[in-house]
Structure 1
């Protein structure tokens, strides 16, 4: 990369944002997309930039992207597989999309490709969905989007938003499961059994072994606290009823796999529309431990952020909002908290990075 496409933390850092995607490959966190609030407008961030954060040195780098670049958008669903980042769905200036894009993160070129399918049908346009990666396939669940009236089969898989419709087009929440195989470029909708979750969006998901988990999310005006598991081999749904105490219902939170048997839940928007900061570490069914941040620091409140697993089961939280993001005049995160970044960088960074460290006791921030 030449100097025109590479800039380091001493010059600039990644801007605050919500509704973006972030993932870790090797020792680098990659950040793309999202939006910020400027005055009374919601502005999408540049789509031809990808931000790299070195987890060891704490140095930011911005690289220019090329190829079939996706539209600027938020609410996308991003995941990685074999060094490639895939993004699906999201909301751009035209509304929700159902396009799938791919970019190699390891070759240093950052060239986007639009992924065209050969067989099957992609999901309908949607955002705020989630994804599991299993056995070389991308498996998507839920989200909020629109369908034409003749595409709505029943209200068990698509819950219409009665406040949003135009002629024969309806918006709403779904609980559909769609799978994409990059090798064959095939979309399919596996037939699932068991008790499926209610249609929802702004939930969180994680993969452990051959099972995909989801927690919470928004169903109409309700924010739930239920936990469901989908066996990704038998396609059987089951609901998990954890022992008390149980995390509060929420949306716009994150769920991160931190080992082969444990999940980490952080942040979100509560039923009362208040940002949350409480951390939960859950080992499969039984909730093992929870913790509040050990100090009263309002910036630990976070929603519509991202959370990635780093080395040694550390959880890296980036971006999001510390206030109710539907209030446009409220800003996104512009603070910094990173126990591996050099102190002289903290005054110049306008991002939020928190490392939750694994220890023998509760997780700490």
Structure 2
């Protein structure tokens, strides 16, 4: 069983504050800030949960970490929770703590600087069963959850529709663990749970898959389905609640779990990393055009940095910020968790971004640029000054 980590915030050798390494955590980007919460790490021979009353904040423009204390109805320390950003609030649901999987939902306002947790008590409907390693989509102010691994009472398992596949290796008397393919929706405004009736062919029950939202469609990719790992892609229309499977042509990524899928345009998603069918950590990146249904493997500078059970957040200019995760098979090897952030450029940058980055990179070693900084328009000058902090050699994020 994983125990809570009680150590204080760590610092780098240069005394600059850095977030601790972790896997199974939650991360979101709001504006220019990356927020990181929860997960677990290895200390000596133990795996420990990270404190649930702290949140790490990374300024993506200045390359500066800060850690803040959280108060209120603080959730337990856990990993595998499903987190998302909605109207400036971080919502988390499910996860695994020292007592096993949970089915509680919490939220915290990320915009007021107070970081006060609130446990949400719903008035309508029933919450999903206890689970972790699930995913979600955000659409029209609601959060739609899919899948995950967890437990149910035998009396609540419907064996006729295969919405819950029992893990034969795990059960205790009348309690069964397994994978599900259920769709549940939470409405924060009404504090209500509902279970939409879906149509079409539902994907197989799974956990440790990845999801992304484009327009009115929610996509899922891969994950662990019983004893195998898949690379299939399914789409749920979030208005008609109709499932469809995307059947890509040409080359496709190998089956995997614990990977990430991030929307980077109106028609494409970016897949990175994960654990392959033969339990190898992956470092490959792929773009899927959901209109043409074609996968394309992309070159990137992080081929030597495999990651699994990391987070991947969309940022400005279609960048994808990958943080943390494990660089090896976490069920077999300890001390393999990471705390670096990798920035993937998935689309060509606009001219303003190109100019901003060029000046910030070169101004320290170019006297002519330094002397002309004051001539820049105010907006560009402010942006360049922030990026100059980012490009300090000891602090910059990895591109």
TM-score under structure 2 length normalisation: 0.82
- CA-based RMSD of the aligned residues comes to 2.0
| 1:73-117 C-alpha deviation (Å, 9 max, x unpaired) | 000100011000000000000000000000000000000000110
Aligned-pair CA distance for 1:294: 4.6
CA spacing shift, 1:257–1:237, aligned 2, 3 Å: same
CA contact (8 A) 1:262 1:281 kept: yes
CA contact (8 A) 1:324 1:330 kept: no
Task: Please tell me whether Structure 1 or Structure 2 has the larger radius of gyration of its CA atoms.
Answer: 2
Aligned-pair CA distance for 1:12: 1.8
CA contact (8 A) 2:211 2:260 kept: yes
User: Could you tell me which residue of structure 2 aligns to residue 213 of structure 1?
Assistant: 219
CA spacing shift, 1:174–1:338, aligned 2, 3 Å: closer
Report the Cα distance in structure 1 between the residues aligned to 2:111 and 2:268, rounded to whole angstroms. Answer: 28
| 1:152-194 C-alpha deviation (Å, 9 max, x unpaired) | 0125100000000000000000000000111111101100010
Pick one of 191, 202, 215 that aligns with 2:208: 202
| 1:228-263 C-alpha deviation (Å, 9 max, x unpaired) | 000000000000001111111000000001111110
User: Could you tell me which residue of structure 2 aligns to residue 289 of structure 1?
Assistant: 296
User: Could you tell me which residue of structure 1 aligns to residue 385 of structure 2?
Assistant: none
Aligned-pair CA distance for 1:292: 4.1
The more displaced of 334-343 and 114-123 is 334-343
Pick one of 145, 148, 160 that aligns with 2:166: 160
Q: SS of 1:193's equivalent?
A: coil
Aligned-pair CA distance for 1:330: 4.2
Residues 1:132 and 2:137 aligned together? yes
Report the Cα distance in structure 2 between the residues aligned to 1:167 and 1:227, rounded to whole angstroms. Answer: 35
Pick one of 261, 266, 269 that aligns with 1:260: 266
Report the Cα distance in structure 1 between the residues aligned to 2:240 and 2:341, rounded to whole angstroms. Answer: 43
CA contact (8 A) 2:321 2:342 kept: no
Residues 1:307 and 2:357 aligned together? no
Report the Cα distance in structure 2 between the residues aligned to 1:148 and 1:91, rounded to whole angstroms. Answer: 18
Report the Cα distance in structure 2 between the residues aligned to 1:313 and 1:19, rounded to whole angstroms. Answer: 24
Pick one of 237, 243, 268 that aligns with 2:249: 243
Q: Which residues of 2 match residues 166-177 of structure 1 at below 5 A?
A: 166-177=172-183
Aligned-pair CA distance for 1:40: 3.0
| 1:255-294 C-alpha deviation (Å, 9 max, x unpaired) | 0011111100000000000000110011114225312445
Aligned-pair CA distance for 1:335: 5.3
Residues 1:343 and 2:393 aligned together? yes
User: Could you tell me which residue of structure 2 aligns to residue 28 of structure 1?
Assistant: 33
Q: How many pairs does the alignment contain?
A: 343
Report the Cα distance in structure 1 between the residues aligned to 2:333 and 2:154, rounded to whole angstroms. Answer: 32
User: Could you tell me which residue of structure 2 aligns to residue 350 of structure 1?
Assistant: none
CA contact (8 A) 2:324 2:341 kept: no
Q: Which residues of 2 match residues 28-47 of structure 1 at below 5 A?
A: 28-47=33-52
Pick one of 297, 320, 323 that aligns with 1:318: 323
CA spacing shift, 1:166–1:103, aligned 2, 3 Å: same
Aligned-pair CA distance for 1:329: 2.7
The structure with the greater share of residues assigned to helix is 2
Q: SS of 2:394's equivalent?
A: helix
The more displaced of 336-345 and 266-275 is 336-345
Aligned-pair CA distance for 1:343: 1.5
User: Could you tell me which residue of structure 2 aligns to residue 148 of structure 1?
Assistant: 153
Aligned-pair CA distance for 1:6: 11
CA contact (8 A) 2:199 2:243 kept: yes
CA spacing shift, 1:32–1:341, aligned 2, 3 Å: farther
Residues 1:193 and 2:187 aligned together? no
Q: SS of 2:240's equivalent?
A: coil
TM-score under structure 1 length normalisation: 0.90
| 1:115-172 C-alpha deviation (Å, 9 max, x unpaired) | 1100100000000000000011010000000000001012510000000000000000
- Ranked by relative contact order (alpha carbons within 8 Å, sequence separation 6 or more), the top structure is 1
Aligned-pair CA distance for 1:38: 2.3
User: Could you tell me which residue of structure 2 aligns to residue 180 of structure 1?
Assistant: 186
Following TM superposition, where does structure 1 have runs of at least 4 consecutive aligned residues deviating by more than 4 angstroms? 5-10, 334-341
Aligned-pair CA distance for 1:11: 3.7
Segments of 5+ residues of structure 1 without an aligned counterpart are 347-352, 356-365
CA spacing shift, 1:341–1:173, aligned 2, 3 Å: farther
